[in-house]
């Protein structure tokens, strides 16, 4: 099992709800990532944080709002989502100068 | 714009056979090519990776073959086992600056029949 945990593992929310996904890494890494995984599509990089600073936002809609309070924790705040946002959301971590990313198990999100 | 194309989308192999998954990339600046393995309910995990200065890398039953001129690389799983049944993703990234920016292929769902 990896040193990256994600909660909750499953989430069902309505389009008007507000919820948050949580990621925690226990590997001493200083870079963290959010990915979206949809069926039959490549993993889509959403956000990158290096040393708690956001360094990349891949044109993600504002209804997704990331937060990185420290190098070990990463959140994804969700509001006013659309059904097409239903997917597996994966968190990953790495060293800033490293190549290998370690993934969490993901949160399966269903928007109704 | 898909920078890493992976095929086949699904693959069925008999136990003991060889599984081969192919990827092609467009960006010649890519210099790190990992393969990730994902089991149901789990996140992807790094399986094996290669840099473009070598043409082949082997770890146990898993081998990456790399063809720089053709901009292609492939994963070979020798003596495939039912426990290898998973989804495999190829990926590519550029350098080690500011964390790795992995560009993933679409994935291949491998089924190894007993």
What's phi and psi for A62, nearest 5 deg? Answer: -70, -10
Which tens digits make up the pLDDT trace of A55-80? 888 889 999 999 999 999 999 999 99
Of A43, A47, A50, A93, which to mutate for an interface test with B (greatest number of B Cβ within 10 Å)?
A43
For the CA atoms of chain B, what is the radius of gyration? 14
* Record: contact B9-A40, CB cut-off 8 A: yes
Residue ranges of chain B whose CB lies within 8 Å of a chain A CB: 2, 4, 9, 32, 34, 36, 41-46, 49, 89, 93, 96-107
Sign of CA dihedral A101, A30, A76, A6: positive
Separation between Cα atoms, residue B66 and residue A27, nearest integer Å: 31
Q: Which residues of B touch A99 (CB under 8 A)?
A: 32, 34, 49, 93, 96, 100
Of residues A42, A50, A103, nearest to B43 (C-beta): A103
Subunit contact A43:B93, Cβ cutoff 8 A: no
Quick check: B76 pLDDT over 90?
yes
Mean pLDDT of chain A: 92
Residue B11, pLDDT > 60, answer: yes
Of A50, A97, A99, the CB nearest to B93: A99
Confirm or reject contact between A13 and chain B (CB < 8 A). Answer: no
Instruction: Print burial letters for A38-53: b (CB count within 10 Å at least 16), e (below 16).
Output: eeeebbebbbbbbebe
CB contact, 8 Å: A39 with chain B? no
Gap from A76 CA to chain B (nearest CA, Å): 17
Share of chain B above pLDDT 90, in %: 78
pLDDT digits (tens, 9 = 90+) for A7-22: 999 999 998 889 999 9
Q: Of A45, A98, A102, which is closest to B101 when you measure between CB atoms? A: A45
pLDDT of res. B102? 87
Which residues face B112 on adjacent strands?
B13
- In sequence order, what E strands does A2-70 have? 4-7, 10-13, 18-25, 31-37, 44-50, 53-57, 64-70
How far from each other are the two terminal CA atoms of chain A, in whole angstroms?
Answer: 31
**What is the rounded CA–CA span in Å between residue B14 and residue A83?**
38
The first and second tokens of residue B53, run together, are: 């200065």
Residue B22: CB partners within 8 Å, gap ≥ 6? B6, B7, B8, B72, B73, B74
Nearest residue to A18 (alpha-carbon basis) of A81, A69, A112, A73: A81
pLDDT of residue A99: 78
**Residue of chain B whose Cα is closest to the Cα of A51:** B98
> Across the interface, do A55 and B98 touch by the CB < 8 Å criterion?
yes
Query: Tokens for A26?
Result: 């226990």
How far does B14 lie from chain A, in Å, by closest CA? 24
Summarize pLDDT for A75-109 with one digit per residue, the tens.
999 999 999 999 999 999 998 777 789 999 999 99
Q: What is the pLDDT of residue B99?
A: 55
Please tell me the predicted confidence (pLDDT) of residue A2: 60
As a whole number of angstroms, the distance between CA A34 and CA A53 comes to 14
């Amino acid at each position: 099992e990896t040193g990256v945990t994600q909660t909750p593992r499953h989430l069902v929310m309505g389009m008007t709800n507000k919820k948050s996904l949580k990621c925690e890494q226990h590997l001493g890494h200083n870079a963290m990532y959010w990915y979206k995984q949809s069926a039959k599509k490549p993993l889509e990089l959403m956000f990158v944080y290096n040393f708690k600073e956001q360094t990349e936002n891949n044109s993600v809609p504002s209804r997704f709002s990331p937060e990185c309070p420290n190098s070990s924790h990463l959140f994804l705040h969700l509001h006013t989502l659309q059904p097409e946002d239903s997917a597996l959301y994966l968190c990953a971590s790495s060293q800033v100068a490293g190549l290998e990313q370690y993934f969490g198990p993901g949160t399966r999100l269903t928007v109704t | 714009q898909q920078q890493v194309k992976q095929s086949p989308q699904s693959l069925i192999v008999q136990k003991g056979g060889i599984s081969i998954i192919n990827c092609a990339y467009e960006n010649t600046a890519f210099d790190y090519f990992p393969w990730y393995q994902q089991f149901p309910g789990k996140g992807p995990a790094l399986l094996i990776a290669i840099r473009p200065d070598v043409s082949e890398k082997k770890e146990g039953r898993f081998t990456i073959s790399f063809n720089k001129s053709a901009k292609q690389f492939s994963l070979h799983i020798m003596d495939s086992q039912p426990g290898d049944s998973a989804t495999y993703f190829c990926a590519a990234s550029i350098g080690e600056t500011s964390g790795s920016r992995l560009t993933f292929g679409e994935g291949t769902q491998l089924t190894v029949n007993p």
